[in-house]
Amino acid sequence: MSQSNPLSILNEYYGYDAFRGSQEEIIEHVIGGGDAFVLMPTGSGKSLCYQIPAMCREGVAIVVSPLIALMQDQISALEVMNIKAAAINSTMSAAEVSATSELARAGKLDMLYVAPERLLMPDFLRLLDQCNLALFAIDEAHCVSQWGHDFRPDYAALSLLADRFPQVPRIALTATADAPTRKDIVERLALKSGRTFVSGFDRPNIHYSIALRNSPRKQVWKFIQDKHPNDAGIIYCISRKKVEEMAAWLCEQGVDARPYHAGLSSEVRAENQRQFLQGEQVVMVATIAFGMGIDKPDVRFVVHMNIPKNIEAYYQETGRAGRDGLPSNALMIYGMEDAAMQRQWIDNSDAPMEQKQIQHQKLGALLGLCETANCRRQVLLNYFDDDCSPCNYCDNCEEPPETFDASIPAQKAISCVYRTGEMFGVSYLIDVLRGESNDRIANFRHDQISTYGIGTDLSKPEWQNIYRQLVASNLLAPTPEGHGGLQITDNGRIFLKEKPNLPMRHHQKTLTTERLKQSIGKRPASLASPTDQALYENLKSTRGEMAKTQKVPAYLIFHDKTLIELAVQKPSSLEAMLNINGIGETKLERYGKPLLDVIMRHDQSA
């Protein structure tokens, strides 16, 4: 396909009347042959920035994508719009690869999706030499950078594209990159002479809540009951075992929950993912092995049962909620042991020392987000060199935590770590501070040290709160040997010498049921009346039947936002349906009549 008018393509195929933000400027730049680095939040329409130029320029666009699931999801969405797209990946037979390669050579594809590993193969590079190339699109471009949270060496090798195909425009795209990562991407992909487009990071439809772990299953169950009883969501757990246990427990409570982790067979993973994508009330319980390939727009919530690796991972994973722009929730439940475990994983990894230092810095920033008394959204956006006013749509804004100067108790806590030899865990340190009498303290003769019994003024939970924030502030850190011991960092030693003020959050009990109800984002009603709601449910049911017949996820036919607009506007003809966002001529021809019939029946019965 080669069409010259991007706006006509947007309207005819995607069903929208106007571009958003900098989309139009990016698209025109790439159509004109320019290189670009694009940073846009999840759900803001990054894919249009290369898909529309691919349809406007002569030849096939090569889209580099890290996961097969992500490729397949995008190809399915393009096929529904009669756009010619295909992939070459490791699941295909030699005959299938050969047939797809021939389509690319013959100019019969608009887009060809490949993994970076495939693109770098000599046979594939020779195929590219035989094709008329429209452009290269490098998706999830943070994988290029050693500073990125998901660095992949094969991505870094994509720098060869600039040398081997200098006349073919390249566009690199990501939703998650701090300033060092952005700089690294531009340098590694030789995009310095191109343009950089940064569209901001805020996802205003997502409500952020972070709660201390108490009874995690009860906390999550109450959250689902109160806010998302009939919604699709993702729950991230730290291990395969936790995934299995949580999914089984939710099923016992009547939730349609499916496990997903690398230990399951590929058949089971594929089936569970299919159920999640095609269902509308399925909850996926998963390790981080699940997610990057998921383009499902109606995920209404994301829960983290433990802290992720860093802020980029948190931002990307929570960004899987509310891609359609409707109100959604992100809830994280955490404890201090999470930080110790993450630090241990970093230290025990095979990564070079420089990479470990980067990972420790990033983990520290995430812990700061967990422990902050300020607006969560401000902290999140500041990390990416973005900003906003206090959002009034996170737990800290809605119920600001109290703070106090913790300088004196912090000195006591750190001194106790020093006096006991920088090898013990929090529970033992608190027993020493509170002057407990037990055999272990007696055996180590820690009832003879100066910090024994100097902390009786605070309760165990209050001391736990202080130690948690000292770890988050990087004044204390887990010992290299693991086992839960703490040692003093360089920052901690400076603190003991200088004794500056140290604001900390007051100890709070973990969110009570009532507070959890108040702190989770309110979901404003999108439909004005019960009759609109009834029509919406009927439209949704009809969409579900069409999706089942075609064996595609319902959202590939129309997003929920489109059905809501249909229920409110109630167009009386197929032509009038073209005024609804998300309905273009291609989809109207395929799906318009059944939905119009539902609206007509509703009007007659009203």
Residue-wise pLDDT for 185-215, tens only, equals 898 898 988 999 988 888 999 999 999 888 8
For residue 536, which of 568, 573, 576 has the smallest C-alpha distance? 568
**Residue 486 gets which letter from DSSP?**
E
For residue 464, which of 110, 206, 214, 144 has the smallest C-alpha distance? 214
The per-residue pLDDT for 184 is: 87
Q: Is 518 or 431 the better-scoring residue by pLDDT?
A: 431
In the predicted model, what is the mean pLDDT of residues 503-525?
51
pLDDT bin (cut points 50, 70, 90) of residue 2 is low
pLDDT bin (cut points 50, 70, 90) of residue 291 is low
- The answer to whether 575 and 6 are in contact (CB under 8 A) is no
The per-residue pLDDT for 528 is: 64
Q: How far is CA 599 from CA 80, 191, 463, 592, in A?
A: 23, 50, 61, 11
pLDDT bin (cut points 50, 70, 90) of residue 478 is confident
- The answer to whether 185 and 149 are in contact (CB under 8 A) is no
The per-residue pLDDT for 518 is: 45
The per-residue pLDDT for 1 is: 56
The per-residue pLDDT for 526 is: 57
How does pLDDT run across 306-345, given as a tens digit for each residue? 999 888 889 989 999 998 889 999 999 998 778 878 888 8
| pLDDT(482) > 70 | no
The per-residue pLDDT for 525 is: 40
| pLDDT(384) > 70 | yes
For residue 141, which of 111, 192, 182 has the smallest C-alpha distance? 182
The per-residue pLDDT for 488 is: 94
Q: Which residues contact 359 (CB under 8 A, 6 or more apart)?
A: 309, 310, 346, 351
- The answer to whether 320 and 234 are in contact (CB under 8 A) is yes
Q: Which residues contact 280 (CB under 8 A, 6 or more apart)?
A: 232, 298, 540, 544, 554
pLDDT bin (cut points 50, 70, 90) of residue 522 is very low
Dihedral over Cα of 554, 555, 559, 564: its sign: positive
- The answer to whether 231 and 300 are in contact (CB under 8 A) is yes
What are φ and ψ of residue 216, in 5° steps? -55, -40
- Domains defined along the chain, listed by start: 6-198 (3.40.50.300), 206-398 (3.40.50.300), 403-507 (1.10.10.10), 530-605 (1.10.150.80)
Mean pLDDT estimate for the chain: 88
* Distance of alpha carbon 207 from alpha carbon 189, whole angstroms: 35
| pLDDT(513) > 50 | no
DSSP β-bridge partners for residue 198? 39
* Distance of alpha carbon 520 from alpha carbon 3, whole angstroms: 46
The per-residue pLDDT for 519 is: 43
What is the full DSSP assignment across 391-434?
-S-BHHHHSPPPEEE-HHHHHHHHHHHHHTTS---HHHHHHHHT
* Distance of alpha carbon 162 from alpha carbon 189, whole angstroms: 7
Q: How far is CA 128 from CA 31, 169, 239, in A?
A: 19, 14, 41
pLDDT bin (cut points 50, 70, 90) of residue 256 is very high
Ordered alpha helix ranges (H), 209-262: 216-227, 240-252
How does pLDDT run across 97-155, given as a tens digit for each residue? 999 999 999 999 999 999 999 999 999 999 999 999 999 999 988 888 766 556 777 78
Type and span of the H or E element at 449 = none
What global pTM score does this model have? 0.70
Per DSSP, the three-state class of 339 is helix
The per-residue pLDDT for 510 is: 41
| pLDDT(67) > 70 | yes
The alpha carbon of residue 426 and the mean position of all alpha carbons in its chain are separated, in whole angstroms, by: 32
**Residue 366 gets which letter from DSSP?**
H
The per-residue pLDDT for 306 is: 93
| pLDDT(520) > 60 | no
With a pLDDT cut of 70, the percent of the chain lying above it is: 93
With a pLDDT cut of 90, the percent of the chain lying above it is: 53
* Distance of alpha carbon 278 from alpha carbon 7, whole angstroms: 30
In the predicted model, what is the mean pLDDT of residues 360-378?
83
Per DSSP, the three-state class of 451 is coil
Residue 268: exposure state from Cβ atoms within 10 A (0-12, 13-18, ≥19):
middle
| pLDDT(303) > 80 | yes
How does pLDDT run across 388-439, given as a tens digit for each residue? 888 999 999 998 888 899 999 999 999 999 999 999 988 999 999 999 999 9
pLDDT bin (cut points 50, 70, 90) of residue 293 is low
* Distance of alpha carbon 225 from alpha carbon 333, whole angstroms: 17
* Distance of alpha carbon 105 from alpha carbon 109, whole angstroms: 9
SS (H, E, C) 508-540: CCCCCHHHHHHHCCCCCCCCCCHHHHHHHHHHH
DSSP β-bridge partners for residue 271? none
